Amino acid sequence: MRREVNVLIIGAGISGLSIAYSLIKRGVKDVLVVDKSYISAGSTGRCATGIRASFTSKEHVVLMKRGIELWKEYASSELGREGLYYDQSGYVWVARKEESVEFFSKLTRLHNSLGVPTRLLSIDELKELVPTLNTELVAGAMLDPTAGKSYPFDTIFALLKYVTRNSVEVVTHAEAKKLIVKSGKVVGAEIEGTEVRAEYVVVAAGSGSRDLLKTVGIDLPISNIPRHALITEPYREAFKPLVIDWDTPGVPYVVQSKEGGFFMGRDIEEEAELPLTSQRIDFIPKVVKPLTQLFPWLRNVRVLRYWVGYYVTTPDHHPIYGPFEEVENLYVATGFSGHGYMMGPVTGELIANWILDGKPGIPEAERLVPSRFKVGALIKELAVVG
C-alpha cells in the first residue's frame, strides 16, 4: 500500500502541529501528521506551562523573543477563539545569594541588548508583585515581564482543530518504522505497513526522533532525562508570575494555573532513559521543602497529582533544528531540553521557512543545525529549570 503527500510530519506534539499550522499559513495544505501514540503523548502533554525569553544564550533569547510574539499572535487569532490560553504574567527569578543578584544584573544587560526588557526588582517591588512571598530569605530578584504561561491541552486541541479544518490529516497510533532514502534524498517513510511518499519529511517525534533517524544512519546526541512535576488542588489566586528559586539545588519553581492549582517542579539527579513509570518517593519533599520556605502557607496545600516526563536533552541544552548534510529534504525539530512547549510556535515558523525558503529566517537558528555536534560548535545554556 502506498500514498503520496507534499510534507510528512512525524510527531503530533506542539512542534509537529505548529509546523503544520505554519505551513498552512504559507499556503501548503498537502500535509500529513502522524504519531505512534495519541496527540501530545510525549513531552508536550507533561510540561508545566511556562513560556519565557529569559535564557543565558543569545540563541535562546532571540528565538524566544520571536516565540513570544508568535504566542501573542496565536492567542489573538482563530486559535484563541478555539480555546488556546496565553497569560503574559511574567517570571520572577528569586536569588537567595548576593552573587546571584550580580549574575542577574549581567543577564539583564544581555536580555536588554537583545530587546527583552528584564530588570532587577527591589524588595518592595517584589512584595507588590508576589505578596505572599517570604522576602526575609531573598537577596534580590529578576523580573521577566514578557514571560508567561499557557496550557498544553488547550493549545494542542486548538491547533488540531485548525489544521484538520484546513485539509491537514492527523493520524494517531501510526508508528513510523523507518525513513526511506534514495540517492541521498528522503522520499518518505514506512508507516504501519504503508509506504508514505513525501517531498519533505520532518522528524519532530521528541524522544522517538533518535531511533527513527538511526534507520538512515543518523545518530543524534539526545538522551531522555526523567523530570518530575506535581499539581495541587485549586485555591484562590495567590500570585500571577511563575516564581523560580534560583539558588536552591535543582532550581525549584512554582506557578499557579488558571484553575488555581499550583504546578511545582525541580531537577533531581536521574539516570537517563529510565521509564516514565519511575516515580520517586523523595520527589515531593524535595520540591515542597524549599518552596515552603519561600511560601510558608504552601504547607497547607494538598497535592492532587504527580507525574514524570522526559526532557529530551542535548549536550548543550539547545534544540536540534533544520536540515541534514547527509540527507536532502529531511528536517528535524527535537532535543529541546525541557523548552519544547514554549518554543512550539517559533519552531513551526522556522521549519516552515526552512522548507519553503531554504533558510529559517532567524540567523541564530542556523547555529542549531545537527552538524554543530560534528564540528564541536556547542552553545552553553545555564537556565534550565525543572
For residue 373, give the nearest of 305, 325, 304 by alpha carbon.
Answer: 325
Residue 142 in this model has a pLDDT that exceeds 70 = yes
The mean pLDDT value for 24-31 works out to 95
C-alpha cell at 208: 522517538
The segment(s) of the chain belonging to CATH 3.50.50.60 are 2-49+153-222+315-375
d(CA 135, CA 379): 34
CB 66 within 8 A of CB 346: yes
pLDDT at 60 over 80: yes
Residue with cell 543518523: 218
Residue of 232, 365, 381 lying closest to 311 (CA atoms): 381
- Asked if residues 35 and 172 have their Cβ atoms less than 8 Å apart, the reply is yes
Q: What is the mean pLDDT of residues 272-281?
A: 91
Q: What is the mean pLDDT of residues 333-348?
A: 97
pLDDT of residue 141: 98
- Per-residue confidence (pLDDT) for residue 386, from 0 to 100: 66
DSSP state of 261: P
Helix (H, G, I), strand (E, B) or coil at 11: coil
Please compute the mean of the pLDDT values over residues 143-158 and round it to a whole number.
97
Give dist(CA 167, CA 296) in Å, integer: 52
- Mean predicted confidence (pLDDT) in 44-55: 94
Q: What residue type is assigned to position 53 of the chain?
A: A
Check pLDDT > 90 for residue 207: no
pLDDT at 215 over 80: yes
Helix (H, G, I), strand (E, B) or coil at 38: coil
**What was the pLDDT predicted at 1?**
72
- Distinct helix (H) and strand (E) counts, the chain: 10, 19
CATH architecture for the domain at 2-49+153-222+315-375: 3-Layer(bba) Sandwich (3.50)
Share of the chain above pLDDT 90, in %: 95
Q: Helices 344-357 & 14-25, crossing angle to 10 degrees?
A: 50
Compute the average pLDDT of residues 101-105.
98
DSSP, res 240: S
Name the pLDDT band for 2 (thresholds 50, 70, 90): confident
CATH of range 91-145+225-310; options 2.30.110.10, 3.30.930.10, 3.30.9.10, 3.40.50.300: 3.30.9.10
Residues spanned by CATH 3.30.9.10 within the chain?
A: 91-145+225-310
CA distance 180 to 198: 10
Q: Does residue 383 have a pLDDT over 90? A: no
Q: pLDDT exceeding 70 applies to what percent of the chain? A: 100
Copy the grid coordinates of residue 364: 541564530
Q: What is the pLDDT of residue 217?
A: 96
Calculate the average pLDDT of the chain. Answer: 96
What pLDDT sits at residue 88? 97
| Model confidence, pTM | 0.97
Backbone angles phi, psi at 206, to 5 degrees: 55, -125
Cell 510556535: give the residue.
345
pLDDT tens profile 4-23: 999 999 999 999 999 999 99
Task: Please give the pLDDT value at position 327.
Answer: 97
Angstrom distances, CA of residue 347 to CA of 16, 336, 344: 9, 10, 5
- Among 251, 226, 253, 222, smallest CA distance to 239 is for 253
Given a contact cutoff of 8 angstroms between Cβ atoms, the answer to whether 237 and 256 are in contact is yes
Measured distance CA(75)–CA(69) in Å, rounded: 10
Using DSSP bridges, classify how beta strands 31-34 and 2-10 pair: parallel, antiparallel or unpaired.
Answer: parallel
Per-residue pLDDT, 47: 92
CB-based contact 53:68 (threshold 8 Å) = yes
Residue 377: band (very low, low, confident or very high) from pLDDT cuts 50, 70, 90:
very high
